[in-house]
Structure 1
Amino acid sequence: MSNKLSKSQIEDKKKEIVSKIKEGRLCTTKERPTSAKGEFWSNLLRIKDMNGIYEPFVQCVICQQILSYEVKNGTNSLNLHVQSCTKKTSLPKSTMPIDNYVKKDISIPPDDKRMITVACSKYCAFDMRSFNSVNGEGFKQLCQALIDLSYKYGLAKLSKPSVEVLLPDRTNISRTIKQIANEYRLKMNDILREDLKEVKLIGISTDYWKNSYTRTKSGENTIRIIKSVLRSYDLDPDDKHIIYLTDNASNFVSGLKNEVASEQLSSDQEPTLHLVLPWINKLKSCCEIKNNELPTIKYFKKMILEQIKEKVWLTRLHDIATFLHPVTKNLLSYSQKERNDVYKATRDMMKTINIIEPDEKQKQISATAITSTSRKTPKK
């Protein structure tokens, strides 16, 4: 090599070569040097990059080991290596290596065990496997087969390591996945910070499952969880204009088996967001209890109304969609204060996406509001 490297530097360089070959950044070829004449070259592969420039290394096809090679240093060491590998593979089957008669437990260094733990954690996280899957008999047999194969073709013929000493406990897997997730979250934070410099409006689509040990899936709890997640990514939910979308309303209305409501809210040919509030209000009005009704009907209506209040999560986006649609823009079920809040929210959104200038204040929305609420008959 052009600059004299230490033994450790050469070994590091060999590991780098192996890694680049696996990644496809380097490739091997049977093409010999122009001056090569020895037969041992038939057992060696040269290594080059995508530009055709050769690395000062070759790979033995018998043992797969990476060997240093430069023309000026000669090929005697390469010849001796190939001869040694050829003798090992040509041993009679009746000749048993000495390690077959000696059973010796080997000690796995902590760094190597940690590498296996990280690999198992990624296996569980990336492939959506349970933490306990690494303790499965089939998984252990797979790992043991890989170890046996590497031992069969490896050069270090020591005692075969057992898969039991390598695989971590599921608790260790769970803890490691959290550590890896935090590392990825930090990387994601950096990406989000750059992207959010140009972002004015953020939309978040949410859905999750409630298990029996957590609190109810109410709108208040949901928004608290979402804000907590946003803050974990260094996003201030009060600083950005964020729109939250949820499928709870449509799912619940479909569950009521009301054909008219479910058909309108499930339409895929036209917008339906503006219909959510009117239909929810209509469903609530249908649940109003009347004095002359049977106790069973009263109880049934009460239970349905409680389910509507608990399951349906309405957001400001529903108000804005209802106001902006020509059919529902009057907001007849709203008080004047509620209407004003909707007008303000609409103005804020329009400013955010640059539909109106911030200094135009309330001109556009106020004009629409007056048109929507005024129903006076003109004087003749």
Structure 2
Amino acid sequence: MAGFKLEKENVKSKLEQGILKTCAKARLATASWWDTFLRIKDDKDNIIPFLQCTKCFSILSYEVDKTGSSTHRSHAQNCFGGGAASTLRNQDIGVMFRKDNGSLTVAKTAFAEACAKFCAYDLRSFETVNGRGFEVLCQSLLDVAHKHSHPIDAKSIISDPTTISRRVHKLVDERRLELVDTLLSDLKKIKLFGVTTDFWKNKYSSESYLTVTLGKRQLVELQLVERQLDVVNWSQRQLVATIISRIRNWSHEKIQLY
């Protein structure tokens, strides 16, 4: 019995590690208690003789020719108060998004409501829940949910704002170094390039800024490529000297201005 329990715990551990994955019930499985469980498959998509409850995430053994259904029916009644949960409620995120457009519509509706609450509770702009950055955030959350079969408390994965701020600065430094290497390589191949400026003002803070952009013409493809170098606060004195200083600091002394 101890060995059998250990085997179930091993299955659950491999699910959490992503070695094993859950999948929907077989089409021929019509019993109502099936809506409470997901089948489990290995990395080769072979179904193994275990099921996982979609509410408490317990692992139960199941073999078509050997296992009766009374244990599973009883478990479903205990977990969901006498009845099996709805099919939509029990689907894991991967299965739900692979279903027909009807299921996707329901998921989009639920997500839209969550976004509305996010904007309302935190007084965020509606544009906050739009754009490439927000897509990256959502995809990251979906990937986290897919890798873990057990519920995750949102607070446990939300970082402190200070941590986010430090990470932003680190990402900026990493991207700048990558861009410097790219520019150094390009400048060896091209002869035409120019630095342009764009003056703009933040209507909320009334602060003025000057964006410095490097543009280069690729002679082979006849294509203009632009890369933003820096954004300088217009209120600073000695603007020309400030721009040169910023670019030199930005380039980490890899690009020399003559």
TM-score tier (shorter): 0.3 to 0.5
More contact order relative to length (CA 8 Å, sep ≥ 6): 2
Higher alpha-carbon Rg: 1
Higher helix share: 1
* TM-score for the superposition, normalised by structure 2: 0.38
Higher strand share: 2
